[in-house]
């Protein structure tokens, strides 16, 4: 990996920063959270501004609404948007997951139907993987799809479905064969969320945000043409998607911005007659957290550089996922200690500091170490595929 950015990449980064200064309000304090946050409407408008420049998915081929940018350039886009706390506007599931997966596994008709809606910012997606009895052991899923003529008839339930209450489409794993080993009887379908028989119920998380949902399927008819990668081949399609999901650079950029805010707070706040930042444990803690954030950033760029060379990252993406999510937890835990009782106040409190961001981050940082494969699952992948260790 070349650690130096080219002149064109540096120009791109500056162009992005200039754009963000103009596109985001001067007092912008967005969370950079999922589209289910309070910035929903602005997030959609912001997506349209990106789409006008071809910046929703710049690394995609021009035929699908991208710019044909390199993977390193795509990472630069992700890093700058996350650092600016720009609204995601639903791009995570469309741009970061199903879009690249369709480019790899979809047929021409499927690509033509779905990719332009993602790059235009008009179509939102959600992910139907987890079930009440199938989380880390995803291959145990029981949502059933039975072929009936030109359709699959789907019955079952999905849970922890982020953005399902606002999504237009879902990519969903279903069981199409119960007579073979569990990994081999799964198929990958695309579902129009307006289809009769789909019920979405909200789940409010412990940060009091409505991001999750449970989704019920009752005799839902899905056209067979919405099958991706062939019947009973869904597990392999799903693993491709998870590799894309686990390699995001946004987590480290968001952490770096929060750490800068925390360092500024420690420099401005006095306790017992001196600044917080003058205390050794605060300086050392900030240094350790900044180092971890930079390591996570370089790991993400390593994944991007592998993709640019035509390689498919696997355990390398799992390494990013484990390290970035767990270091974010350590950062917010440290932030609470630095801020003391102020760190426990929410944004709506008149005494909250840093807009209550540390309290919200502390609560919200739990889920990322669980979804997309828990840290334990990621360590198994690293051990088996990276180190060549045997299964338990």
Catalytically active residues are 245
Residues 234 and 187 sit within 8 Å (Cβ to Cβ): yes
Strands (DSSP E) contained in 91-209 are 125-128, 144-148, 151-158, 169-175, 186-192, 198-204
**Which distant-in-sequence residues (6+ apart) come within 8 Å of 178 by Cβ?**
144, 185
Query: What is the largest distance, in Å, between two alpha-carbon atoms of the chain?
Result: 77
Count of C-beta atoms within a 10 Å radius of residue 389? 11
Residues 99 and 115 sit within 8 Å (Cβ to Cβ): yes
Residue 234, CA distances (Å) to 189, 224, 226 in order? 8, 14, 12
Residues 66 and 60 sit within 8 Å (Cβ to Cβ): yes
Distance CA 86, CA 33 (A): 9
**Structural tokens at position 258:** 């929060």
The DSSP secondary-structure symbol of 134 reads: B
């Amino acid at each position: 990996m070349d650690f130096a950015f080219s002149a064109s990449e540096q120009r791109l980064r500056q162009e992005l920063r200039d754009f963000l200064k103009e596109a985001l309000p001067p007092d912008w304090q967005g969370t950079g959270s999922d589209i289910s946050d309070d910035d929903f409407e602005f997030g959609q408008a912001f997506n349209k501004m990106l789409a006008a420049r071809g910046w929703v998915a710049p690394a995609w081929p021009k035929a699908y609404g991208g710019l044909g940018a390199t993977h390193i350039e795509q990472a630069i886009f992700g890093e700058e948007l996350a650092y600016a706390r720009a609204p995601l506007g639903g791009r995570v599931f469309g741009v970061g997951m199903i879009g690249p997966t369709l480019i790899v596994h979809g047929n021409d008709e499927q690509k033509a139907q779905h990719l332009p809606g993602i790059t235009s910012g008009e179509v939102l997606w959600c992910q139907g993987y987890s079930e009440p009895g199938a989380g880390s052991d995803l291959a145990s899923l029981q949502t059933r799809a039975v072929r009936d003529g030109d359709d699959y008839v789907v019955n079952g339930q999905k849970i922890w479905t982020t953005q399902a209450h606002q999504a237009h489409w879902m990519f969903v794993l279903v069981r199409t064969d119960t007579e073979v080993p569990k990994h081999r009887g799964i198929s990958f379908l695309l579902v129009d969320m307006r289809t009769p028989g789909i019920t979405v119920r909200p789940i409010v998380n412990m940060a009091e945000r409505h991001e999750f949902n449970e989704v019920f399927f009752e005799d839902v008819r899905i056209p067979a043409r919405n099958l991706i990668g062939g019947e009973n081949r869904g597990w392999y399609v799903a693993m491709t998607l998870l590799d894309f999901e686990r390699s995001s650079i946004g987590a480290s950029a968001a952490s770096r911005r929060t750490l800068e805010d925390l360092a500024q707070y420690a420099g401005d706040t006095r306790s017992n007659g001196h600044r917080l930042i003058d205390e050794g444990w605060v300086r050392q803690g900030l240094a350790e957290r900044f180092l971890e954030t930079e390591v996570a950033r370089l790991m993400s760029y390593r994944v991007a550089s592998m993709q640019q060379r035509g390689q498919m990252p696997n355990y390398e993406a799992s390494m990013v996922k484990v390290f970035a999510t767990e270091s974010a937890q350590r950062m917010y835990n440290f932030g609470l200690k630095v801020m003391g009782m102020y760190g426990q106040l929410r944004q709506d409190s008149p005494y909250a500091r840093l807009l209550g961001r540390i309290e919200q981050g502390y609560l919200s940082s739990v889920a990322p170490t669980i979804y997309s494969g828990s840290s334990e699952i990621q360590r198994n992948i690293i051990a088996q595929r990276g180190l060549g260790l045997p299964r338990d």
